[in-house]
Structure 1
Amino acid sequence: MKKIALFYTFFLILSCSFHAAAQKDPKAKTVLDAMSKKFQEMNGFTANFDFTFQDASGTSDRQSGEISVKGEKYRLKLPDQEIFNDGKTVWTFIQSDNYKEVTINDASQMEGELTPSNIYRIYESGYSYKLMGEKQFQGKTAQVVELLAEKSNAPFEQVKLMIDKSNSSLLGWEMFDGQGGVFSYTFQNLKLDSSIPPSHFVFDVKQYPGIEVIDLR
């Protein structure tokens, strides 16, 4: 009986701990809702960004790129690849001096992934969240909100958003894969641009004769 009582107590503690961890901090929600509203009001923007990946051993890689976002659409340009997403189709374009390739997926196949367009509303389902406090980030006072995945099979178990306290703009975010890997994104030179045409988010295969097409739709 004593062993059963101890097991029950242990189970109860675990249940209570999980429930506490899964809570959604109302203060954090206020910050997140303001960030999401700010994104919707922008109706399109362009920016430069820095991307850093660090694995469990401490080895890191850093790249800079350009990004355009409008609603569900985005275009992401890195030195070795470019990703186009028009909300329905995703094209991943890779080219070198003597080789060109594009992989095509349905946007629905990317569900669950964190993207430049859904990072603003990722907190709405699948994550608990809490306000961690404030820190200086890019010379600005940022409110740090931590998101914790509610399911073990989530692509990232933890996400930290850095949100400008003065105007609710998203300054950057960090994603933790649960295996020691950390992905960091930082926006720079963000400019509002509501005039970005739909064609900007579409990859035109016809412009690249001889390109290898890998269609996974």
Structure 2
Amino acid sequence: MKQIALFYTLFLTLLFTFEVSAQKDPKAKIVLDAMSEKFQAMNGFTANFDFTFQDASGTGDRQSGDIAVKGEQYRLKLPDQEIYNDGKTVWTYIQSDNYKEVTINDASQMEGELTPSNIYRLYESGYSYKLIGEKQFQGKTAQVVELIAEKNNAPFEQVKLMIDKGSSSLLGWEMFDGQGGVFSYTFNNLKLEANLPASYFVFDTKQYPGIEVIDLR
């Protein structure tokens, strides 16, 4: 009886060990580490991007914009809004024909959200990952790495990263919210911009007379 119990214990141990190792695919980690190192070595970049959203019913939306990223700082421009993040403060600027508004938050209030800077480190905690294959993406061979959230309350339960096999650059990604919604981002015209000044990521309210300021800090 003791031998059966011992065998069962060993079996569970081996099974658990297999499951844990399967959550962190070593091949995927090599690809992800190379992508992260490439991003850190860039010391800043600018790009155009396409953003699409499709909900469970098939209804979708498409937008294009511009992005600049340097370390923890980023500046994101969409048709109806701009987001500035200098690593400490986040400004969300919205304007219409006769109305201007900026909402100010501490960057720490945005923790847990997916941003243009932390997408490169998303895999480091809170997600398991595996290399699921290769595909042609933007005319390049991309390695597709799937991230699966380890907790139910994660903003996105699944993320797929398309990483250039030749250069380790992140070409785009897809995010799944668990409710049937899919968010897709694709980079275009990626340019290295190491000389982006810190002021580029700061929104100066003095340059916008009459703007309504909503300070939530």
TM-score with structure 2 length normalisation?
A: 0.91
User: How well do the aligned residues superpose, as a CA RMSD in angstroms?
Assistant: 1.5
SS in 1 for 2:31: helix
The structural deviation recorded for 1:20 is 5.6
Task: Give the distance between the partners of 1:22 and 1:59, measured in 2 at CA.
Answer: 35
Q: Unaligned 5+ residue runs, structure 1?
A: 1-11
Q: How does 1:1-217 map to 2 (within 5 A)?
A: 19=19, 23-217=23-217
Task: Give the distance between the partners of 1:134 and 1:208, measured in 2 at CA.
Answer: 47
The structural deviation recorded for 1:209 is 1.2
Percentage of matched positions with identical amino acids: 86
SS in 2 for 1:119: helix
The structural deviation recorded for 1:65 is 0.2
**8 Å Cα contact 1:22/1:150 also seen in 2:** no
The structural deviation recorded for 1:19 is 3.9
SS in 1 for 2:104: strand
Task: Give the distance between the partners of 1:107 and 1:20, measured in 2 at CA.
Answer: 33
The structural deviation recorded for 1:78 is 0.3
TM-score with structure 1 length normalisation?
A: 0.91
Task: Give the distance between the partners of 2:83 and 2:21, measured in 1 at CA.
Answer: 35
Work out the number of aligned pairs and report it: 203
**8 Å Cα contact 1:21/1:128 also seen in 2:** no
Regions of 4+ moved over 2 Å: 18-22
The structural deviation recorded for 1:210 is 1.1
Task: Give the distance between the partners of 1:133 and 1:20, measured in 2 at CA.
Answer: 21
| 1:45-75 Cα deviation digits (max 9, x unpaired) | 0000000011110000000000000000000
Partner AA of 2:26 in structure 1: P
SS in 1 for 2:23: coil
Partner AA of 1:155 in structure 2: P
